[in-house]
């Protein structure tokens, strides 16, 4: 029993070290306020793309925080509250369906990320961004592919973005119940695509996306 507990403690310690790797690396270079940035909703057929920027200080415990897609909705909501209550800084950036159709989803996602960074109460001095693209900013930054599974700051941002967007889509469902936004959150499920065929696209759909236009 003691051995099992020891292994669990070691696993937790190793997980924390792993998830803090990029933040610690940046701190060794002299950076203090490191923001993780991630988005939610890039592959959806409807609704906005939501980005979040999160600054965590070194005393923040990251146990359980990882890529939001790997978490249950209940776990995400619990971690959402923990992050909101304990993070040094949290901000949201939004690009709606109209902007997505106008400038394309990649550019809209990058713009929403920039807005999230600009919305922080405390200006970061280094950015860790999920994916392979940097944002339009004078700040030093690093793009990390699958960063939401490798960086605690990006993972925290992924949770904030996902829970925020899910809430928006659940409210959208009240206005357009025929599409089932509360279940698929706007993503291209079979039921969603069948609803578009049956009812046509609503104002919240991305008209430039295959499956809608």
Give the CATH number for residue 141.
Answer: 3.30.420.10
pTM of the model: 0.92
| pLDDT higher than 50, residue 2 | no
Number of domains comprising the chain: 1
Please indicate, yes or no, if residue 121 is contained in any of the structural domains. yes
Please indicate, yes or no, if residue 181 is contained in any of the structural domains. no
Residue 109 and residue 100: Cα distance in Å, rounded?
Answer: 8
Please indicate, yes or no, if residue 169 is contained in any of the structural domains. no
Is-contact 87 55, C-beta < 8 A? yes
Kindly give the residue spans of alpha helices, DSSP state H, lying in the chain.
2-19, 21-28, 73-86, 97-103, 105-118, 152-175, 181-184, 190-199
Q: What is the pLDDT of residues 160-172, one digit of tens each?
A: 999 999 999 999 9
Please indicate, yes or no, if residue 180 is contained in any of the structural domains. no
**What's CA 83's distance to the chain center, in Å?**
13
| pLDDT higher than 60, residue 4 | no
- Containing domain of residue 148, as a range? 2-162
Q: What is the pLDDT of residues 8-57, one digit of tens each?
A: 444 445 667 788 999 999 999 999 999 999 999 999 999 999 999 999 99
Instruction: Supply the pLDDT for residue 14.
Output: 60
Please indicate, yes or no, if residue 199 is contained in any of the structural domains. no
- For residues 64 and 52, which has the higher predicted lDDT (pLDDT)? 52
Instruction: Supply the pLDDT for residue 15.
Output: 60
Please indicate, yes or no, if residue 66 is contained in any of the structural domains. yes
| pLDDT higher than 90, residue 115 | yes
Instruction: Supply the pLDDT for residue 44.
Output: 98
């Amino acid at each position: 029993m003691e051995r099992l507990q020891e292994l669990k403690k070691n696993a937790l310690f190793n997980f924390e070290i792993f998830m803090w790797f990029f933040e610690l690396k940046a701190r060794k270079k002299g950076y203090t306020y490191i923001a993780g940035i991630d988005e939610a909703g890039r592959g959806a057929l409807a609704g906005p793309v939501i980005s979040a920027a999160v600054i965590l200080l070194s005393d923040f415990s990251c146990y359980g925080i990882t890529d939001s897609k790997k978490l249950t909705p209940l776990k995400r909501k619990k971690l959402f509250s923990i992050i909101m209550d304990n993070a040094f800084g949290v901000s949201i950036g939004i690009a709606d369906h109209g902007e997505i159709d106008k400038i394309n989803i990649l550019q809209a996602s990058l713009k929403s990320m920039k807005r999230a960074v600009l919305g922080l109460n405390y200006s970061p001095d280094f950015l860790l961004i999920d994916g392979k693209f940097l944002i339009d900013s004078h700040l030093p930054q690093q793009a990390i592919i699958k960063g939401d599974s490798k960086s605690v700051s990006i993972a925290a941002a992924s949770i904030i973005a996902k829970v925020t967007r899910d809430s928006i889509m659940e409210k959208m469902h009240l206005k357009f119940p025929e599409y089932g936004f509360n279940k698929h959150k706007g993503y291209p499920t079979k039921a969603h695509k069948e609803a578009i065929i049956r009812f046509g696209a609503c104002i919240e759909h991305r008209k430039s996306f295959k499956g809608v236009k």
